[in-house]
Amino acid sequence: MSRPIPISVLAAGIQESATIRLNQHAARLRAEGKPVIHLGIGEPTNRAPQTAIQGAEKLLAGGSLKYTATAGIPSLRQAIADYMLASYGREIPPGNVIASNGSKHSLLTVLLAILNSGEQVVIPAPYWVTYPEQVKLLGGRPVVVLPEPGSLLPTAEALLAAVGPQTRAILINSPNNPSGLALPESDLAKVVEFCEARGLYLILDDIYRELVFDGLRSPSPYAFTRHSLDESHLIVVNGVSKLYGMTGLRLGWTVGPRALVEAMDKLQSQMTSNPSVLSQAAAEGALRGDQTVVRELRATIEANRNSMLEALSQIGGLRIERPQGGLYCFPDFSSHGSSSKELAERLLERALVVTVPGVEFGMDGYLRLSFAGDREGILEGVSRIRWALDPASPNEIRLGDRVAVRDWA
């Protein structure tokens, strides 16, 4: 009899990322030749900006691929500071910037630097799947704040009411993954002011900041702080994954008080050292290059959002909040089944379309549908969902080279 391989309590208590698991499942089905449509993935299809490619090529041609400062090369930190000035209107010294291996890593390092065991982080639902797991990983306690029934955005008052003596931080993602909703500027102001008055950290995961639609502009949290950067408790996390559609580059960053950045630098120096020098060169190339690419990406994703909303409006029984930004739509599918996990499995099995169950984001009955991919896939995916769920839709559909017939009620 083989002996079990011992796994730490910590590792055993953490959930695998649901979205990564689904991506792997979809890849397996595709490898088996199944015509899967992937509405699960948060990854734009664009080509990387030319200036990013040139930045990496130049570094490679020079042949010097060495360690850098843990927090990143000075010119990258300056390029991030320049982006902060352009986008947030706030002068940021490069010493208040630290680059990490993707913003998921930035967030984990932030939490490592601020959270003691048993302390709480207030997280509005629906939330990105990773937040509660990262907090738990560090022995902290996620305190999830649900929106009012029928809404997808907890109010500032509800968030602040969840703060208690053990709360260390509030963690906000706007526009939000999965809802696509943005926190109203007046709510952001209230949360910034409250956090400053209480000495609480406000962590803003701003990864979708530039991906906003209908002419919306993301507000700058620095407009509401009365303190200098080093005295404020504002922490901004971002990266190149969604800004330039360079998800595989694994380059994110944190901007915050100098003492926090220094603590993160120390932690990172013992965990990963600097992010890959090649990724840093490509990220700097993108940040210093023509920003038309950001506008083009936004226009493409906004057109995709419109196509998805139009197609979803054909399906009976859904309640949909119009996403204001980001890469996802989060319709209420509860009239088609109360368990989102069961519904997502049913859609994958019958219609070969990947969606992510709302329960993974703290709200059952919903499904997250990504409009990051191409328009054709979005339309095909939604029409398959309609076929699988809506008896008013035609009985037959083409799935790849076969015709499938709906034989359930």
Binding-site ranges for ligand PLP (CB under 6 A): 42, 102-104, 128, 173, 177, 205, 207, 239, 241, 247, 252
Token pair recorded at residue 346: 């049913």
Give the residue ranges of DSSP H helices in 199-339. 240-243, 258-271, 277-288, 292-312
Of the candidates 156, 152, 182, 149, the one whose C-alpha atom is nearest the C-alpha of residue 170 is 156
Which residues lie across from 221 on neighbouring strands?
none
Q: Which is nearer to ligand PLP, 103 or 383 (CB)?
A: 103
Q: How far is the CB of 239 from ligand PLP (least distance, A)?
A: 4
Q: Which is nearer to ligand PLP, 252 or 257 (CB)?
A: 252
Q: How many residues does the chain have?
A: 409
Q: How far is the CB of 3 from ligand PLP (least distance, A)?
A: 36
The one-letter amino acid at 14: I
Of the candidates 148, 168, 166, 172, the one whose C-alpha atom is nearest the C-alpha of residue 158 is 148
Of the candidates 336, 363, 309, the one whose C-alpha atom is nearest the C-alpha of residue 152 is 363
Q: How far is the CB of 4 from ligand PLP (least distance, A)?
A: 32
Q: How far is the CB of 105 from ligand PLP (least distance, A)?
A: 6
Token pair recorded at residue 406: 């709906």
Q: Which is nearer to ligand PLP, 41 or 389 (CB)?
A: 41
Residue bearing tokens 């990266």: 239
Q: How far is the CB of 70 from ligand PLP (least distance, A)?
A: 18
Nearest residue to ligand PLP on Cβ basis: 102
Q: 105, 342 in Cβ contact below 8 A?
A: no
Q: How far is the CB of 180 from ligand PLP (least distance, A)?
A: 11
Q: 100, 140 in Cβ contact below 8 A?
A: no
Instruction: Count CB atoms within 10 A of the CB of residue 73.
Output: 18
Q: Which is nearer to ligand PLP, 328 or 387 (CB)?
A: 328
Q: Which is nearer to ligand PLP, 196 or 360 (CB)?
A: 360
Q: Which is nearer to ligand PLP, 114 or 315 (CB)?
A: 114
Q: Which is nearer to ligand PLP, 133 or 230 (CB)?
A: 133
Of the candidates 233, 209, 201, the one whose C-alpha atom is nearest the C-alpha of residue 135 is 201
Q: Which is nearer to ligand PLP, 44 or 102 (CB)?
A: 102
Q: How far is the CB of 121 from ligand PLP (least distance, A)?
A: 14
Q: Which is nearer to ligand PLP, 252 or 381 (CB)?
A: 252
Q: How far is the CB of 51 from ligand PLP (least distance, A)?
A: 19
d(CA 236, CA 220): 10
The CA-atom distances, in angstroms, between 71 and each of 122, 200, 203 are 27, 24, 19
Instruction: Count CB atoms within 10 A of the CB of residue 57.
Output: 14
Q: How far is the CB of 175 from ligand PLP (least distance, A)?
A: 9
d(CA 3, CA 97): 47
d(CA 308, CA 297): 16
